[in-house]
């Protein structure tokens, strides 16, 4: 007999080779997906942990020597909060009556400021000059500060006739 085509042995070997190649490709593809999901999950857990361990509180406010609202912000969390990056860019934002103060050098300042990277350690406090005028007697201004890891606090600075909110 004269047959044309593949013998059953060669056909079986080819099918087996195709099956192994397909399984190997699927394994490599699924492994890379699993590694990406695992890394994203670990990043999310780390971020959630940072948020849980981070908090801040505006302790008080008062009228500064130049007539501005000065607020004392305490790190009430378990980890240091970065305030400023090494290049001097501030990571915190201040809002007065819902209006953001810009991040230029004249908008607000850390009292006793340092150059470079700045952190506030747990339980420590830092005074911030909002450069916003202290409210007149009987009036108030809402001060909100937001920081890293979704930390924030709000204070209503009401002037009852003294120099403290």
Residues 6 or more apart in contact with residue 108 via CB below 8 angstroms? 94, 101, 128, 129, 130, 131, 132
pLDDT tens column, 13-25: 889 999 999 999 9
pLDDT tens column, 120-131: 999 999 999 999
Q: Smallest Cα–Cα separation from 103: which of 130, 137, 70, 67?
A: 130
68-75/109-110 β-pairing:
unpaired
DSSP secondary structure letter of residue 1 = -
Q: Quote the pLDDT of residue 38.
A: 87
* Residue with more model confidence, 42 or 161: 161
d(CA 164, CA 161): 8
- Which CATH number describes the domain made up of 55-158? 2.60.40
DSSP secondary structure letter of residue 164 = B
Residues 6 or more apart in contact with residue 53 via CB below 8 angstroms? 77, 78, 79
Q: Quote the pLDDT of residue 96.
A: 94
pTM above 0.85, yes or no: no
Domain segments of the chain: what residues?
Answer: 7-53, 55-158
d(CA 99, CA 142): 10
d(CA 147, CA 123): 16
Provide the β-strand partners of residue 64: none
- Taken in order 106, 107, 111, 116, the sign of the CA dihedral is negative
Q: Quote the pLDDT of residue 1.
A: 53
Q: Is 46 exposed, middle or buried (0-12, 13-18, 19+ CB in 10 A)?
A: exposed
């Amino acid at each position: 007999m004269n047959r044309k085509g593949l013998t059953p042995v060669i056909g079986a070997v080819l099918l087996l080779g195709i099956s192994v190649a397909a399984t190997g490709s699927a394994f490599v593809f699924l492994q890379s997906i699993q590694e990406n999901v695992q890394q994203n999950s670990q990043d999310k857990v780390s971020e959630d942990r940072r948020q849980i361990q981070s908090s801040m509180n505006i302790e008080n406010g008062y009228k500064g020597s130049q007539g501005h609202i000065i607020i004392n912000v305490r790190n009430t969390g378990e980890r240091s909060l970065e305030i400023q990056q090494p290049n001097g860019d501030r990571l915190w934002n201040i809002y007065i009556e819902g209006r953001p103060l810009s991040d230029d050098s004249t908008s607000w300042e850390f009292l006793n400021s340092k150059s470079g990277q700045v952190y506030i350690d747990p339980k420590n406090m830092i005074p911030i000059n909002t450069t916003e005028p202290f409210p007149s007697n009987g009036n108030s201004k809402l001060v909100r500060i937001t920081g890293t890891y979704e930390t924030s606090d709000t204070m209503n600075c009401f002037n009852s006739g003294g120099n403290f909110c």
